[in-house]
């Protein structure tokens, strides 16, 4: 029995992340392009709605595809690092973000690669840091209280 709460393993994780990234890019890009197309269309509600839908139809799949490439490459590098290092920790994600940024900027030269690698690593470090903080906060929130109440008179100051 496969649980939906578990992440798929192996190549299916890469496919899953690629599809999720495409969906995020398609929806987010669709909203952004709808607003942009509406604002840039000539006056008149019919022209604006038509311009909005046309912009979504043309640009949203391209944005989704760009997100899918990023997600697929990130997931491939992450799975490779898990396999090589033999453990799954935040360093894999941070390194994957940096390497993904570098690979995707490789056509723009070494300086752009270094900048994109730095941005990718910092962004993923922030995401991982927030995730760790949230996990610690929620773990403290749901700790079981002591079954016996403490007597305030015997407490040390």
* Residue 115 CB neighbour total at 10 angstroms: 15
Mean of pLDDT values over 79-102: 94
Strands (E), 15-141: none
Q: How many domains does the chain have?
A: 2
- pLDDT, residue 11, reads 83
- Using the predicted structure, report yes or no on whether residue 107 has a pLDDT greater than 90: yes
Domain of residue 66, residue span: 1-88
Claim to verify: residue 47 and residue 96 sit in the same structural domain? no
Claim to verify: residue 96 and residue 55 sit in the same structural domain? no
Q: Report the predicted TM-score, pTM, of the whole model to 2 decimal places.
A: 0.78
Claim to verify: residue 77 and residue 99 sit in the same structural domain? no
pLDDT in tens, 120-133: 999 999 999 999 99
- pLDDT, residue 24, reads 97
Q: How far apart are CA 77 and CA 95, in angstroms?
A: 9
- Using the predicted structure, report yes or no on whether residue 62 has a pLDDT greater than 90: yes
- Using the predicted structure, report yes or no on whether residue 52 has a pLDDT greater than 70: yes
Claim to verify: residue 80 and residue 121 sit in the same structural domain? no
Q: HSE of 84 in the Cβ direction (CA atoms, 13 Å)?
A: 10
- Using the predicted structure, report yes or no on whether residue 156 has a pLDDT greater than 60: no
pLDDT level of residue 150 (50, 70, 90 thresholds): low
- pLDDT, residue 103, reads 97
Q: Are 50 and 44 in contact (CB under 8 A)?
A: no
Mean of pLDDT values over 37-44: 90
Claim to verify: residue 31 and residue 94 sit in the same structural domain? no
Claim to verify: residue 107 and residue 72 sit in the same structural domain? no
- Using the predicted structure, report yes or no on whether residue 1 has a pLDDT greater than 80: no
DSSP string for residues in 53-88: HHHHHHHHHHHHHHHHHHHHHHHHHHHHHHHHHSS-
């Amino acid at each position: 029995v496969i649980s939906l709460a578990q992440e798929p393993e192996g190549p299916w994780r890469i496919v899953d992340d690629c599809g999720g990234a495409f969906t995020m890019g398609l929806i987010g890009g669709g909203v952004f392009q709808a607003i942009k197309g509406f604002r840039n269309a000539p006056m008149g509600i019919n022209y604006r709605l038509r311009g909005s839908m046309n912009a979504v139809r043309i640009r949203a799949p391209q944005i989704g595809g760009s997100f899918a490439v990023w997600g697929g490459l990130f997931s491939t590098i992450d799975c490779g690092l898990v396999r090589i290092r033999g453990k799954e920790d935040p360093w894999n994600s941070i390194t994957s973000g940096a390497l993904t940024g570098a690979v995707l900027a490789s056509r723009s030269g070494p300086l752009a690669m270094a900048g994109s690698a730095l941005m990718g690593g910092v962004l993923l470090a922030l995401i991982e840091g927030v995730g760790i903080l949230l996990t610690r906060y929620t773990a403290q929130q749901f700790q079981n209280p002591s079954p016996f109440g403490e007597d305030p008179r015997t407490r040390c100051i």
